[in-house]
Structure 1
């Protein structure tokens, strides 16, 4: 009978320990869930910010030289619709959206400029691909003149600019731009 009593007490102690561990796990899961919700809210808040100049904004002044050696200024973009995209070789969404940008650019009736952000060595492949559809600029970072003129604060960023130099649409996804047939 003593063995049976000891076994019941041992099982009872094991159940209490298991219950305490379960409460600890539940508490940790709740903490992790709250932390995850906070991160998601911060990311969503960041997406609400414009990644480039919003529609209705005038493009700022800039001067740059394309990879092909052509001088380009904000005055040069007036008179024809412009599609401009900002990409970085270290950006996974850029790798996903660059083919969409290239396809959009082939159907676009206007000037196309692509800005590759990084060193010449890092952007070689990107420059070659984007060079098939338009002029390409290489700028080191978001503090460079063309980035500032278009208010590009992240990657990828795309802008559709009217022939008057005013942004018509911008965003980090191609869905932010109107369908090319409607242009």
Structure 2
């Protein structure tokens, strides 16, 4: 019993130290983060291809869309931040009318998120952008998606120019698009 109590105490102390260090370091490190300038944004990495399915169950690959700028967004219907940004994505996709491809990838896990739940949400909201369903988690694994929503901006040459974790505003969506056009 004493060993177990010491273990819990040690874990609690370690957690307090970790939180304290993060509270001290975060403000110092966040000051160094800056918006990329033109030279920095010219540094890109090649996209990673993946396969998902469309609403009809057809396999679709990201490479099918290379040649146009792409906004690649990972989301789920249970995710409040995802839901909050989707109206802006849909409005901008309509405004750009095919100049930029919007690929909204539903992170289907078969339990919390199913293809049916995603389809129902899209239909209820009346969104018109293309939705792919990552039923085998191929896209999630290849892009290392660990939080939702996550968005990548890919230029017409297939290079990832920038990205964002978390919901983004319409202003930031337009900034990302500007970087890939």
TM-score range, shorter chain: 0.5 to 0.7
TM-score of the aligned structures, taking structure 1 as reference length:
0.60
Contact 2:76/2:148 (<8 A) preserved: yes
CA distance in 1, matches of 2:121, 2:21: 31
Q: Tell me, what secondary structure is at the counterpart of 2:146?
A: coil
Cα offset, 1:61, TM superposition: 2.6
Cα distance change on mapping 1:134 and 1:70 into 2, 3 Å: farther
What is the Cα deviation at residue 107 of structure 1?
2.8
- 1:82: how far off? 1.0
The CA deviation at 1:128 is: 2.4
Distance in structure 1 (CA, Å) of the matches to 2:49 and 2:79: 27
Match of 1:88 in 2: 76
Distance in 2 (CA, whole Å) between partners of 1:129 and 1:158 is 23
Deviation at 1:136, TM superposition (A): 1.0
Query: Which entry has the higher C-alpha Rg, 1 or 2?
Result: 1
Structure 1 distance, partners of 2:133, 2:21, is 33
Is 1:72 the counterpart of 2:60 in the alignment? yes
Is residue 49 of structure 2 the alignment partner of residue 61 of structure 1?
yes
Aligned to 2:10: none
Mapped to 1, the partners of 2:121 and 2:68 lie a distance apart of 25
**Alignment correspondent of 1:122:** 117
Choose from 125, 141, 144 the match for 2:137.
Answer: 144
Provide the TM-score with structure 2 as the length reference.
0.60
Q: Cα gap change, 1:70/1:163 in structure 2, threshold over 3 Å: closer, same or farther?
A: farther
Tell me, in whole angstroms, the C-alpha distance in 2 between the residues paired with 1:79 and 1:129: 31
Q: How many residues align?
A: 141
Structure 2 unaligned spans of 5+ = 1-15, 34-40, 108-112
- Structure 1 residue ranges without an equivalent (≥5): 1-33, 49-53
**Equivalent residue for 1:167?**
160
Q: Deviations over 1:117-150 (max 9, x none)?
A: 221233233332687432211225xx71122333
Structure 1 pair 138–166 and aligned structure 2 pair: CA distance change class (3 A): same
* Root-mean-square deviation over aligned CA pairs: 3.6
Q: Distance in 2 between matches of 1:151 and 1:129?
A: 29
1:164 Cα deviation (Å)?
1.2
